[in-house]
């Protein structure tokens, strides 16, 4: 998508109160730049450009965490691991005394 069309689609999303969705397959520097440009266009259209750096940081943290979570999910899926069962087997038994966790005696 050309930069002009990108800005038009962002403007259209703002004017029509639509959700703007960005999907990427990878999360490399190229995708970060793409997201920054969309965020900048969105904030400029909303006259909130001073928020760009702070929001950009938050968006990149969320996207990076989502990428890592998806990678881990796929890792477990490909190996037929059940993450819930695995996690439960490593948790110490819980007792009801004041909500504290007891390692068993």
pTM over 0.85: no
String of DSSP letters for 35-93 = HHHHHHHHHHHTT-GGGHHHHHHHHHHHHHHHHHHHHHHHHHHHTT--HHHHHHHHSPP
**pLDDT tens digits in sequence order for the chain, 105 residues long:** 666 776 677 778 878 888 877 777 788 898 899 889 889 988 888 889 999 999 999 999 999 899 899 888 888 888 888 777 766 666 665 555 555 555 554
Cα 8 to Cα 3, 43, 74: the distances in Å are 9, 13, 36
* CA-based radius of gyration for the chain: 21
Q: Give me 39's structure tokens.
A: 């965020």
pLDDT at 84 (0 to 100):
73
pLDDT at 56 (0 to 100):
95
pLDDT at 91 (0 to 100):
64
Domain locations along the chain: 3-90
């Amino acid at each position: 998508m050309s930069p002009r069309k990108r800005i038009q689609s962002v403007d259209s999303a703002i004017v029509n109160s639509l959700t703007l969705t960005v999907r990427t397959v990878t999360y490399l520097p190229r995708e970060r730049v793409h997201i920054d440009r969309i965020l900048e266009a969105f904030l400029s259209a909303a006259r909130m450009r001073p928020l760009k750096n702070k929001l950009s940081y938050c968006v990149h943290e969320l996207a990076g965490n989502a990428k890592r979570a998806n990678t881990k999910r796929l890792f477990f899926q490909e190996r037929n691991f059940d993450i819930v069962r695995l996690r439960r087997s490593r948790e110490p038994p819980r007792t009801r005394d004041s909500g504290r966790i007891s390692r068993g005696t």
